[in-house]
Each structure stands twice: as structure tokens, then as C-alpha cells.
């Protein structure tokens, strides 16, 4: 499916750094400290892996995906602040920079 690159809220990095060890343990991916935000029309039903809440941090759900041939995961935070049609992606690298993308560009996302 196609998804549109959109600007994030600038808060992903601080949360990903907190969750990174748990994400790495659960799915074997050490995430880049930040999220890649995409606007989608809708998502198909996905199989999520859940990282339970800890301390003052809420639970998050992860679903594997491929963004322009790069391994990644959709992250759904329990305390999310995005509109329902905006998804956050984590990957080992900064996908926006790696793929030379700007806000408004489109990517292919596979599940």
C-alpha cells in the first residue's frame, strides 16, 4: 500500500530511547532514536507484539512491516497523540534520510 510521509511531533526520539532495549529484546531490532511518520487511508488487521507498560510509560504494540524494502515496525503507543490515520514507524536507520524522502513524498509499505 502507499503511504504519505508526514511531519511528526518531534517527540519520538525521547520515547524510542526509553523503549529501545525492550524493542530490541522483543523483535531483534535496535531502533534509530526517532520515528518515521506516515499517513495511511487505513491499516489491514495486523498481528501485534505488545511491550507491557513499565514505570510511567504506557504499553506499546509493534507490527512488522517493510518500507521501500527496509525492515521496520509499526509502533502503536497506548498513549498515542497522532490522528488515527497517522502511523509511527521504527527502523534501525533514519528511513527519511536513508531513502532521501521529504514530507509529502510517498512510500510503499508492506505487511
Residues 11-47 have pLDDT tens digits of 778 889 999 999 999 999 999 999 999 999 999 999 9
For strands 70-77 and 49-51, give the pairing. unpaired
Task: State how far the Cα of 17 lies from the Cα of 45, in Å rounded to an integer.
Answer: 28
The pLDDT value recorded for residue 82 is 77
φ/ψ of residue 34, rounded to 5: 165, 165
pTM recorded for the entire structure? 0.92
Pick the CATH number of 2-110 from 3.10.560.10, 1.10.3720.10, 3.50.50.60, 2.40.30.30: 2.40.30.30
Tell whether the model's pLDDT for residue 80 goes beyond 80.
no
**Residues 6 or more apart whose Cβ sits within 8 Å of residue 79:** 58
Amino acid at each position: 500500500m502507499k503511504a504519505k510521509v508526514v511531519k511528526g511531533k518531534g517527540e519520538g526520539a525521547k520515547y524510542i530511547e526509553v523503549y529501545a532495549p525492550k524493542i530490541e529484546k522483543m523483535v531483534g531490532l535496535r531502533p534509530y532514536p526517532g520515528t518515521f511518520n506516515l499517513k495511511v487511508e487505513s491499516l489491514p488487521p495486523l498481528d501485534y507484539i505488545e511491550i507491557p507498560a513499565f514505570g510511567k510509560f504506557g504499553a506499546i504494540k509493534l507490527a512488522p512491516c517493510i518500507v521501500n524494502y527496509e525492515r521496520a515496525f509499526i509502533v502503536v503507543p497506548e498513549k498515542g497523540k497522532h490522528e488515527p490515520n497517522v502511523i509511527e514507524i521504527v527502523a534501525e536507520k533514519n528511513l527519511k534520510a536513508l531513502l532521501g524522502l521529504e514530507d509529502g513524498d510517498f512510500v510503499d509499505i508492506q505487511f
